[in-house]
Amino acid sequence: MSAVDCVSRGVNNYPGGRAAIRARHCPDKVDDTFRKELSGAATHKLGLADGIAIAAMCCELKTPHCYDLANFVAQECGGRFELAGESGPVEQSPIAKVSKLVLETSHVTSVVIDSMQDGVISDNELAVIEREIAEAEEALRLLRQAARAVNAAGKPASERRHLDLPVRSMRDEAATA
C-alpha cells in the first residue's frame, strides 16, 4: 500500500466521496484530474500537502481509514502512529473489539495463504494483503481505544488524566522496547 492508496481509501469512505472532497478542498480542479491523482496515475501526482489536508478532513469526521495516511507515514519512518489523549464514548466493549480483531486477522491469514499457493506474491496480491493488514491495524487501534476507555472509567476521577489534548503523536518503537 502506498501513501496515495491510504488517501484514496479515506476519500472512498468520506460522505459524498471524491466529489465532496473535491468540492471542499480543490473546487477549481477538474474531476478527472483529481480522480487520476487519487488513483496514483504516473502522469498525475497528488502532493503531500493535498494528501495531508484530505486525510485531516477525513479525521474530522472519524471516517473509516481516516488514520491510514498517518499510520503509513509513521511506519515508513520506523515509528508508530498513536492518538494521544483519545477520549469520548466507546462504541463497543473491548470484547467486541477483540472479536473484530480476530475476524480481521483471519482475513489477513486467509489472503496470505491464498496468495502463497503458487509460491509467489504478485503485485495485486500484495495490495490485497496490505489492505487487509491495514484493516487489522485499525481493529487493533480501536481495541486499544476501548481498553483505555474502560480502564479510565474504572478509576476515580482524581486518578484520571487531568489534561487530554487531541494531539497526534508518533513515538519510536525502539524507545519503547
CA distance 176 to 171: 8
Q: What is the pLDDT of residue 67?
A: 87
Closest C-alpha to 72, from 10, 11, 142, 121: 10
Q: How many CA atoms lie within 13 A of 62 on its CB side?
A: 8
As a whole number of angstroms, the distance between CA 54 and CA 95 comes to 32
H/E element, 11: helix 3-13
Question: In the predicted model, what is the mean pLDDT of residues 66-94?
Answer: 73
Q: Per-residue pLDDT averaged across 50-58, rounded?
A: 89
Task: Output the pTM of the full model.
Answer: 0.52
Question: How confident is the model over 126-142, as pLDDT tens digits?
Answer: 988 988 898 888 888 88
Query: What pLDDT band is residue 30 in, cutting at 50, 70 and 90?
Result: confident
Q: Which spans in 65-176 are helix H? A: 68-76, 94-115, 123-153, 173-176
CA dihedral 10→12→15→17, nearest 10 degrees, is 120
pLDDT of residue 72: 84
- Give the pLDDT mean for 66-95: 74
How far CA 45 is from CA of 25, 33, 132, 136, in Å, comes to 16, 9, 25, 28
